A and B are shown apart, each in its own frame.
Chain A
Amino acid sequence: MTRSYQQHFEPIAPRKPPTSHTGAMAWLHRHFFDGPFNSFLTILFLALLLWAIPPVFNWTIWYAIPNADNEACRAAQGLGACWGVVAEKGRLILFGRYPYAEQWRPLLASSVLVVLLVVSCLRSFWRPSLVLAWVLVYAFFFALMRGGFAGLTPIETERWGGLPLTLLLASVSLVVAFPLAILLALGRQSDLPAIRTLCVVFIEFVRGVPLISVLFMASFILPLFMPQGTSIDVLVRVLIGMTLFTAAYLAEVIRGGLQALPKGQVEAAHSLGLSYWQIQRMIVLPQALRLVVPSIVNTFIGAFKDTSLVTIVSLYDLTGAVQLALGDADWRKFFIEGQMFVAAIYFIACFAMSRYSQWLESLLNTGTRRQ
């Protein structure tokens, strides 16, 4: 028996059109009320914001005292922030115990350092003369800060503090650590067992202990290492400690780049008859470093934040200087405002660096990126 397919054609009822995918309501629906759980989250977080924003706004802006008026600050305490603390103590926070009249020197020195840091971030300046520029700027920085010539009063390093100290510690610990880290990373990949073992032991040891213990070592044990009668400046000791610490972390970052390199590159270089150092300098490092530039910037962010730990061995960097600056009885109550000011400086610097590392990643990926 055959069925006739020549039956009357009867279309099914048309489906309802989809809920509008354009317009404000659809946008709200898609982003905030997409299902019961998301709606719950939206309402919860909105309630949280409504609860938190008015007091925060009142404290930071509405009832805040912008000028350094201690009486007014005391009256407004608990209601509004006393940003006057920054106006009153700003220079002490930024430059630590550096003599007040001479504070143009740290200002100039750190400005030059910041300019060079920014310049070093731009790819068109990545050339050998940059190394020379760093050497010159460091010489300038130390000479200007230290003084003792051309009518500049000599200033002991233990009076250096605040922002210049933070910048100095962070940049030196990275700039000096960088070549050391390359050697350590190459040593760790080396075929020579003794050299490999030495590098592995150093790297794993440093990465296994907290920075504080390294800094304690630098400030208590390093003086004992010096020949009798010689003493070594506390700033230099801390710099040595921080540099060795950063070098170990950086070495692991660079090792990541070395391991990611295909073996054929080295084999090809060998077959061309290049020597070990030629291979590393011309074939391996340029490719490996390019792979890990973003991680190197991340290490730098870490080093920048880690400089705050020198506070514990009595150097007054930004974190230490704010503790020092707000120590007096009049302004002690407004600690949190001063700390927020310093936190904002750290935040802007670190945030800018992390954005820079993302930008760099896309810039350097051109060779391997698919369009």
Chain B
Amino acid sequence: MSTPPPPKRQWSWRSQAFRGLLYQILAIVLLALAIAYLMSNTFANMRARGIQSGFDFFLQPAGFGIGESLFDFDSSQNYLVAYLVGLSNTLRVALVGLVLSTLLGTLIGIGRLSHNTLVKVLCTSYVEVTRNVPLLLQLFMWYFAMTELLPSIETPLKPMTDVFLSKNGLQYPIPVWEAGHWGTLLGMGAGVVAASLWKRHARLQFEATGIYKASLLPALGLFVAGGVLGWLLGGAPGQLDIPELTEISVVGGGSVSPEYLTLLIGLTVYTSGYIAEVVRAGIQSVSFGQHEAAVALGLKRSQELRLIQLPQAMRVIIPPLTSQYLNLIKNSSLAVAVGYPDLVSISSTALNQTGRAIECIAFVMLIYLSLSLLTSGAMNIYNRSVQLKDR
């Protein structure tokens, strides 16, 4: 067998490789020139306007207070801490929003496929309305409802006992930390260990004998039982910090601001419309033959859903779901419009105070970029576990 001679590298205009190289060099040189031009303009402008540059301002005192934060912050702390507060606020709203919109979106997506016409019509109109009105406008409307339509703090709504909803946000009871709670945590840990042992046992038995043992519900049960047992052994601590209504405010308990509620509700409602469509498309992508085959094998409806439909639907659902998660995280930056102190709004305050536009904006972009990469990385790992395993 004779191998064809390796192609000779031709340094002529006719060689595709040569032209490719030339184009690339040209592109890089042009880009470098453009960047150099813009940079020189920027430096000239900054000199002319007396703008300082550099990231040293991060360690100067911020000089502004932040309305709400997970940890104590006062204006004498530096900008870096202020940014951390902003990041924690962004994550606080984004993570809760992710969970809530996934739950709501899944329910509505399934509802759109219901045989029940009433359910189908209502779910479809929910999806159409939430998806076709801009998020910012929805946020403005929720904010108006929160700050104007809700009753004032003197006469709050009480959806449940000891839960207050008013123009001052939502106040609710939270458990007080006591030593006995360690027992609960330890019990939960023991439950996790027991659950994984049970799962291993079920798997080994299945591999050895082919007899299937349920693993999901018993594992959950072990976890809950462990927690309850630990709680009882710890002396059943049950003290709650209950919010109390005084003349002008509500004190004690846990509390979230109307801005947080606005953003959380707005993001959840908007994103759940999109997630519903993703879920619906995923369920519809499983072909009808799969259902028929499952019925022919004599699987129960619950087994069919768990073993046949769900694994195949997940494959289709995960990639677009990831991009919806990324959208939610990025959309949480609209907090700046309703005055919730998230990353972007802290950064724009910092920008106004220090005038260092490039640094502030670049820093925010960097953080969002890392958040996006982290999320898509995590979702990719999960995606790999549900994808088809081929050789």
Contact = CB atoms under 8 A, between A and B. Distances in A.
B186 interface: no
A221 B358 contact: yes
Contacts of B23: 192, 195
Given A220-B361, A311-B337, A335-B144, A198 B31 contact: yes
Category for how many chain A residues contact B: 35 or more
Main secondary structure of the interface of A (DSSP, over half): helix
Contact of B148 (A212, A228, A335, A342): A335
A210 B331 contact: yes
B46 A38 contact: no
B239 interface: no
Interface centre among B20, B118, B131 (most CB of A within 10 A): B118
B24 A194 contact: yes
A32 B334 CA distance: 41
A138 interface: no
Contacts of B117: 31-32
A221 B357 contact: yes
B328 to A, nearest CB: 11
A225 B38 contact: yes
Given A221-B358, A347-B132, A336 B144 contact: yes
B333 interface: yes
A225 B137 contact: no
Nearest to A34: B115
Interface in B39-71: 41-42, 44-46, 48
A208 B375 CA distance: 11
A354 interface: yes
Contacts of A213: 333, 344, 361, 364-365, 368
B2 interface: no
B116 A34 contact: yes
B118 A45 contact: yes
B118 A32 contact: yes
A319 B358 contact: no
A189 interface: no
Contacts of B28: 194
Contacts of B95: none
Contacts of A195: 23-24, 27
A347 B133 contact: yes
A226 B114 contact: no
B333 A31 contact: no
B74 interface: no
Contacts of A108: none
Interface in A202-226: 205, 207-213, 216-217, 220-221, 223-226
A197 B31 CA distance: 13
A126 B136 CA distance: 34
A216 B352 CA distance: 12
A208 B368 contact: yes
Contacts of B131: 350
Contact of A193 (B24, B44, B132, B137): B24
Contact of B46 (A224, A305, A336): A224
Interface of B: 20, 23-25, 27-28, 31, 38, 41-42, 44-46, 48, 114-119, 122, 128-129, 131-138, 140-141, 144-145, 148-149, 326, 330-331, 333-334, 336-337, 344, 348, 351, 357-358, 361, 364-365, 368-369, 372-373
A-B pairs with the 3 shortest C-beta distances? A350-B132, A194-B24, A220-B357
Given A216-B364, A224-B45, 20 more contacts: A31-B115, A38-B115, A45-B122, A208-B326, A209-B372, A211-B330, A213-B333, A213-B344, A213-B364, A220-B351, A226-B45, A227-B41, A301-B132, A308-B136, A308-B137, A333-B148, A335-B144, A339-B144, A350-B131, A350-B133
